[in-house]
């Protein structure tokens, strides 16, 4: 499966620039990633207390610029090019507006999808309850799109929110099996990172971005070969 090959490349890229990417991962948490962590924690607490857990993704919106900055640094690592910390700072400076808007759109849509899951799963009518699976599929699809978003954004000649969304959606839609397997692999890596704790802070952010970067490269290269 190509998704396994892409995941392996992401891990190799991380290993090749281990100390640099570990540092960039820690910087990601400091400059915005902490909000993503807060969103997950808040979602768990609200779910257990029957609160509005579907609103939790909105807390992760400020993490967008940090993700774009990390994508800007990881882009060169994925290509085995020279890297330094200025790449992260340059990415933060260049893309923070677009990344913040992109994150706002992404997390707002995710919250609405989760709300639909909550609404339809609480219905007594069998037909309406069955729609829970439909909204669950759309939620999984949308989460899969997130893997591509920031690598696509920093790879555009003219980075725009509509452009990044359109391309990331097209990639996920045109490669459904690949995207689904990739999402499962991302979930496995996330679970392992949480279990090991240290890797959650020093490796997980960079590996997730590299997973997206190598996926985008794979999809683009395959499309180019088909067009020949």
State how far the alpha carbon of 136 is from the alpha carbons of 21, 121, 142, 143, in Å.
33, 10, 10, 11
- Give the domain ranges of the chain: 2-227
CB atoms within 10 A of CB 99: 29
Quote the DSSP letter at residue 197.
S
Q: For 183-193, what is each residue's pLDDT tens digit?
A: 999 999 999 99
CB atoms within 10 A of CB 70: 31
Angle at 102 between CA 42 and CA 213, to 5 degrees: 95
State how far the alpha carbon of 134 is from the alpha carbons of 112, 117, 121, 130, 137, in Å.
14, 9, 11, 7, 5
What pLDDT sits at residue 228? 60
* pLDDT at 125 > cutoff 80: no
Q: Give the SS3 label for residue 46.
A: helix
- H-type alpha helices, the chain: 2-16, 18-28, 34-48, 64-78, 86-121, 126-155, 161-174, 176-196, 198-202, 204-227
Q: For 69-98, what is each residue's pLDDT tens digit?
A: 999 999 988 888 888 888 999 999 999 999
Q: Give the SS3 label for residue 228.
A: coil
CA distance 105 to 113: 12
Q: For 166-184, what is each residue's pLDDT tens digit?
A: 999 999 999 999 999 999 9
């Amino acid at each position: 499966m190509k998704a396994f090959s892409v995941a392996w490349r992401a891990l190799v890229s991380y290993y090749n620039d281990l100390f640099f990417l570990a540092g960039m991962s820690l910087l990601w948490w400091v400059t915005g990633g902490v909000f993503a962590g807060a969103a997950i924690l808040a979602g768990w607490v609200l779910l257990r207390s029957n609160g509005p857990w579907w609103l939790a993704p909105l807390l992760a919106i400020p993490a967008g610029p940090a993700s774009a900055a990390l994508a800007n640094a990881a882009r060169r690592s994925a290509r085995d090019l020279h890297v330094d910390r200025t790449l992260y700072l340059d990415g933060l400076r260049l893309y923070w507006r677009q990344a913040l808007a992109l994150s706002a759109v992404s997390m707002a849509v995710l919250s609405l999808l989760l709300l639909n899951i909550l609404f339809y799963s609480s219905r007594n009518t069998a037909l309406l309850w069955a729609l829970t699976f439909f909204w669950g599929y759309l939620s999984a699809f949308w989460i899969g799109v997130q893997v591509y978003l920031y690598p696509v954004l920093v790879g555009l000649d003219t980075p725009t929110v509509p452009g990044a969304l359109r391309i990331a959606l097209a990639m996920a839609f045109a490669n459904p099996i690949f995207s689904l397997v990739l999402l499962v692999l991302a979930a496995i890596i996330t679970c392992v990172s949480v279990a090991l704790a240290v890797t959650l802070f020093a490796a997980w952010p960079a590996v997730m971005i590299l997973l997206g970067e190598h996926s985008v490269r794979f999809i683009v290269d395959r499309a180019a070969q088909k067009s020949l």
